[in-house]
């Protein structure tokens, strides 16, 4: 099956992710797929939470931290400003503390703790995870294409839904038990009702958001995850290991896209020896890819003669990937 066929035959898959190690072309393929879907009349949001995101570079537009920016008809792109998101996250925590406990101002020791915690990686990842949840639960677009961070971080983000869910379940259970004790105490005091547990209410709100995003990311009928791989030995081995790890988190792997395949027109008698060796080496690894991933390889993306930046080059690659022959399969 070709990549184009995957999109056309399963239109309910609205959440699209391209994953892989850094520098393999995830952003290029995310942008190319977003361009093609938008050209088919679908409303598409392409977004990234990677602090080193390159959507601004590939579209040659400054979109960092500006929310969804219209790139062309039906296509919007968004790069989340992680630092600003962390500041907003801190303010949300302060406001919730004020609301829950009726303070006029956040106690200094708690405020110091919030400020110190912002330096922890967990605070940044929690804030960014929250930003992803905000984006994907809105439902304003026909397609959401998530230009994932490199593999290690991506696994961490994807695992956070499960880790958060388990943690929230434990805390929620404790709060529910405490609420039962409060009810008994209120009855003994002949009080008709107990005050609503604001902490439990907040925990249930967070849990609902996490469950909603987790259901989306692990639902094979709504989500498609594509691994990007290039014909190099270490990348093939790393991709196999990563695929096994992703499967543990129930991420539906829809197929593999092989990027940077040397074009066939280079195979001529006059080709320099250096290039002939590179072609022979790549042929060997393409054979390894076919053996490792078989029919789950959906496309072979040619190495372009220059960087894919700007709508003109993206359109050219989209034509090669989705319109020519079998959608890029060699």
Query: Rounded to whole angstroms, how far apart are CA atoms 74 and 78?
Result: 14
Q: What is the pTM of this model?
A: 0.79
Q: Using 50, 70 and 90 to split pLDDT, how confident is the model at 75?
A: very high
Q: What is the mean pLDDT of residues 45-67?
A: 88
Q: Is the per-residue pLDDT at 225 higher than 70?
A: yes
- Integer angstrom CA distances of residue 93 from 84, 98, 111: 14, 9, 10
What single-letter DSSP state applies at residue 74? T
* Model confidence pLDDT, tens digit, residues 241-288: 888 888 877 778 899 999 999 988 888 888 888 989 999 999 999 999
Residue 193 clears pLDDT 60, i.e. is over it: no
Cβ-in-10-Å burial (0-12, 13-18, 19+) of 172 comes to middle
């Amino acid at each position: 099956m070709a990549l184009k066929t995957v999109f056309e035959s399963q239109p309910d898959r609205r959440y699209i992710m391209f994953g892989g190690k850094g520098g393999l072309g995830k952003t290029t393929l995310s942008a190319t797929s977003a361009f093609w879907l938008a050209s088919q009349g679908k409303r598409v949001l392409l977004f990234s939470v990677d602090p080193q995101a390159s959507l601004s570079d590939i579209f040659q537009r400054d979109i960092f931290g500006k929310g969804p920016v219209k790139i062309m008809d039906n296509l919007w792109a968004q790069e989340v400003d992680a630092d600003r998101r962390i500041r907003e996250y801190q303010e949300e925590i302060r406001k919730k503390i004020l609301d829950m406990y009726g303070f006029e101002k956040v106690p200094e020791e708690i405020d110091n703790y919030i400020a110190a915690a912002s330096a922890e990686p967990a605070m940044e990842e929690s804030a960014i995870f929250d930003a992803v949840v905000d984006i994907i639960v809105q439902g304003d677009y026909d397609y959401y294409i998530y230009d994932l961070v490199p593999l290690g971080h991506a696994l961490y983000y994807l695992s956070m839904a499960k880790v958060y869910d388990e943690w929230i379940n434990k805390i929620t259970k404790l709060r529910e038990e405490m609420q039962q004790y409060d009810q008994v105490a209120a009855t003994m005091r002949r009080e008709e009702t107990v005050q609503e547990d604001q902490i439990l209410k907040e925990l249930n709100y967070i849990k609902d958001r996490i469950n909603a995003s987790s259901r989306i990311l692990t639902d094979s009928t709504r989500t498609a995850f594509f691994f990007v791989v290039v014909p190099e030995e270490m990348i093939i081995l790393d991709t196999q290991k990563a695929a096994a790890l992703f499967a543990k988190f129930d991420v539906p792997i829809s197929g593999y896209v092989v990027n940077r395949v040397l074009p066939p027109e280079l195979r001529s008698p006059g080709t320099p020896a250096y290039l002939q060796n590179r072609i022979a080496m790549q042929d060997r690894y393409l054979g390894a890819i076919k053996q490792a991933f078989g029919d789950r390889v959906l496309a072979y993306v040619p190495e372009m003669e220059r960087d894919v930046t700007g709508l003109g080059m993206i359109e050219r690659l989209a034509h090669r990937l989705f319109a020519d022959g079998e959608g890029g399969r060699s």
